[in-house]
Amino acid sequence: LPDIDLELREMVSDDQLEALRTERIDLGLIRLPADLQGLEMTCVVREPMSLVLPRAHPLARRRRDLRVNDLHDEPFIMYQPGDGRYFHEMLQALFHETGVAPRFMQHVRHTHSMIALVNAGIGLALVPASTALMRLDNMTVRDINLPDHIRAEMHLVWRRSGTIGNPAMERMRALLIEQGGLT
């Protein structure tokens, strides 16, 4: 796409929405819920959550399938309620509906920080499966049986008037939707 200058910027969802509205960016990848007034969106990624845990943790060696009940009273790294509210609210609801009460050791903003804390042996964490591919030496990743509605979704978002009539932006948006595998 020779007519497109790609500049990646790390921003949480709320910052992306503001940048879209003020025309500082053209496309964003966000988590819901969000105020989408004046914006369009489509889901481009829907994936399960994985359990990341220190390699020496007893659950890392357990042969049977792991369940959410296995997290009861375990040291747990949790998302912050502010910047990490999408995952925070999803996991809080999961723990509430299942009666599971992990011991929250830290509340962090970014998934990569969680993985670093797990690698340091601070606790366990539930992260999107694709993020769990970032493997560190002292960490292991396990599948965990969770209810079907516990999925990490990523949405592509753009201004209603921002890409219409701009062939390069329309192509970029179509490419991102195609790469996400969802329609």
pLDDT per position as a tens digit, 96-149: 999 999 999 999 988 889 999 999 999 999 999 988 778 788 999 999 999 999
Separation of alpha carbons 102 and 105, rounded Å? 9
| SS3 (DSSP) at 107 | strand
**Contact call for residues 95 and 69 (beta carbons, < 8 A):** no
**Contact call for residues 180 and 154 (beta carbons, < 8 A):** yes
Segment holding 114, helix H or strand E = helix 111-119
CB-count exposure of residue 173 (10 Å: 0-12, 13-18, 19+): buried
pLDDT per position as a tens digit, 53-111: 999 999 998 888 899 999 999 999 999 998 788 899 999 999 999 999 999 999 998 88
